[in-house]
């Protein structure tokens, strides 16, 4: 080891240099290998259910439209970051399936969404309207949205099969 190099290693600049080199390497690794994110806007009701506000945050990116909408709704149901907003759906509400055909989106939710009137400051219809607003705002190419709960279309008349004797 040369005298100059030994003097550098024992100087107070050695740890700073090592820290700077580690920072540069970590920034390069992050730049080339970071996960892709989509920026989305989420609308949530306030704690009184009187008005709606928005939050912007990143969510994991997906290549297909079905996957993007599925991840978006799942993130919406996780709830807001800010304490001034309420959740968009009752706890335990999950997306069972999302399908996109042409410009129509079919969203199937589990039965926990039906507990909206009991657990939240908004009604079931307001929760569905808010979900539709979120989807339309973040995915402007969508023309129609069809919601189903456990496979049954919301607000559709129930048709039972008649038995022929």
Residue 165 has pLDDT above 70, yes or no: no
pLDDT score for 161: 55
How much is the average pLDDT of 59-78?
93
pLDDT, tens digit (0-9, with 9 covering 90-100), for 128-140: 999 999 999 999 9
Give the Cα separation of 126 and 121 in Å (integer).
10
What letter would DSSP give residue 147? E
Q: Where are the domains of the chain?
A: 3-33, 37-151
Nearest CA to 69 among 156, 132, 14, 149? 132
What's the pTM? Answer: 0.75
| Number of CB atoms found within 10 A of residue 128's CB | 21
pLDDT score for 101: 94
Give the Cα separation of 107 and 158 in Å (integer).
19
The pLDDT-based confidence of 160 (bands split at 50, 70, 90) is low
Express as a percent the part of the chain with pLDDT over 90.
58
pLDDT, tens digit (0-9, with 9 covering 90-100), for 78-123: 999 988 999 999 999 999 999 999 999 999 999 999 988 888 899 9
Give the Cα separation of 93 and 74 in Å (integer).
9
Express as a percent the part of the chain with pLDDT over 70.
92
């Amino acid at each position: 080891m040369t005298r100059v190099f030994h003097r550098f290693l024992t100087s107070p600049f050695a740890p700073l240099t090592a820290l700077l080199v580690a920072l540069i390497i970590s920034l390069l690794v992050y730049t080339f290998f970071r996960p892709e994110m989509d920026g989305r806007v989420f609308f949530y009701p306030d704690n009184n259910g009187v008005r709606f506000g928005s939050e912007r945050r990143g969510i994991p990116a997906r290549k297909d439209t079905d996957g993007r909408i599925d991840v978006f709704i799942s993130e919406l149901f996780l709830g807001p970051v800010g304490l001034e907003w309420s959740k968009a759906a009752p706890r335990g509400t999950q997306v069972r399936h999302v399908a996109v055909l042409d410009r129509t989106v079919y969203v199937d939710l589990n039965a926990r969404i039906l507990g909206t009137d009991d657990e939240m400051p908004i009604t079931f219809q307001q929760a569905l309207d808010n979900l539709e607003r979120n989807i339309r705002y973040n995915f402007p190419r969508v023309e129609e949205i069809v919601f189903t709960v456990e496979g049954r279309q919301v607000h559709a008349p129930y048709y039972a099969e008649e038995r022929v004797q």
